[in-house]
Structure 1
Amino acid sequence: MTSLPVVNQPVHRSGALLDQLARRVRLRGESVLAPLGLRPRHLIALTVLRDRSGCTQQALAATLEMDGTNIVGLLNDLEAESLIARRRSPEDRRRHVVELTDAGVKRLAKAEFALAAVEDEVFAALNEAQRETLYSLLQQALGGGEDIACVAAINE
């Protein structure tokens, strides 16, 4: 009987644990967003708009890696709730600039507060320093912390 060659492998694999944590955060997150009338993709769009102080509809679609039809549907949802406003770009009348409204800023703040409570629950076994280390390691694993976290969550 021949034995298989020994391959240097880490003793622990993280994929399954990350998947389990992601599911837990996603399910609990969706449950706290629903009463606010938001889905994860709404939250991400609002966050990008806040962090960039608004942007063109095309730039938002590119950031979120969404096609034109889907971004219009997403923005229609947010506009129906008066969370965003679209206006023609003064530089190029063919483009729309998208910005958060005051109602959007307030709803986003409520959502972030609710999601912070979710993270506190899910990561209760970790102290503050461990949470910061986890965050840094996840950013590093994703390649430097671009808008990757936002893009991943939008593809639901």
Structure 2
Amino acid sequence: MATDVTPLDDRLGFLLKTAYAQLAQRVDAALAPLGLTARQLAVLSVIAADDALSQIALGERLGVDRTTIVAMLDELEGSGLVERRRDPRDRRRNALVLTGSGRARVMRAERTRAAAESAFLSRLDESAARDLVAALRSLVRHPDG
């Protein structure tokens, strides 16, 4: 983004979108040597936190439609990072499980992501960076005020 002032510089949506684009580019570049994108890591991290998650529940947590989730899971399964297994509690559904390789990759990728985010936030002092994350968390968790 150019350093010139634009009419959009006071618009929250523009600033959030632009900051996100910069962060996403940085994180994707950092994750590329691990063969992952930030979006794939988000999917893997949610699965890692709940090994018996269904595809439908995963899509709901990520706010992603079923078709997109299926395509992403097909790719991650093809890479040997995720398995779909019959849920022993409900044989009509599949549970998503990280493979051993998937779990190891997530651990490395999460460290890489955290370092890229930290580098991105280094333009702010530590207190401002913590406040920004806390404020965004509050907005996301309580969208209706």
C-alpha spacing 1:65/1:120, structure 2 compared with 1 (3 Å): closer
Match of 2:141 in 1: 143
Question: What TM-score results when the alignment is normalised by the length of structure 1?
Answer: 0.75
Stretches of structure 1 that go unaligned for 5 or more consecutive residues are 1-11, 146-156
The alpha-carbon deviation at position 122 of structure 1 amounts to 1.4
Partner Cα separation in structure 2 for residue 86 and residue 19 of structure 1: 34
- Partner of residue 70 from structure 1, selected from 48, 68, 71: 68
The alpha-carbon deviation at position 60 of structure 1 amounts to 1.2
Q: Secondary structure at the match of 1:95?
A: strand
8 Å CA contact 1:54, 1:100 repeated in 2: no
- Which gives a bigger RCO, structure 1 or 2 (Cα 8 Å, sep 6+)? 1
Larger Rg: 1
Match of 1:126 in 2: 124
Between the two proteins, the alignment pairs up a number of residues equal to: 134
1:88 and 2:86 aligned: yes
Match of 1:102 in 2: 100
Match of 1:9 in 2: none
String of CA shifts for 1:2-45, please: whole Å, max 9, x gaps: xxxxxxxxxx5443332332111011111122222212221111
Partner Cα separation in structure 2 for residue 79 and residue 103 of structure 1: 11
Stretches of structure 2 that go unaligned for 5 or more consecutive residues are 1-9
Aligned identity (percent) is 36
C-alpha spacing 1:129/1:53, structure 2 compared with 1 (3 Å): farther
The alpha-carbon deviation at position 137 of structure 1 amounts to 0.6
Partner Cα separation in structure 2 for residue 131 and residue 108 of structure 1: 24
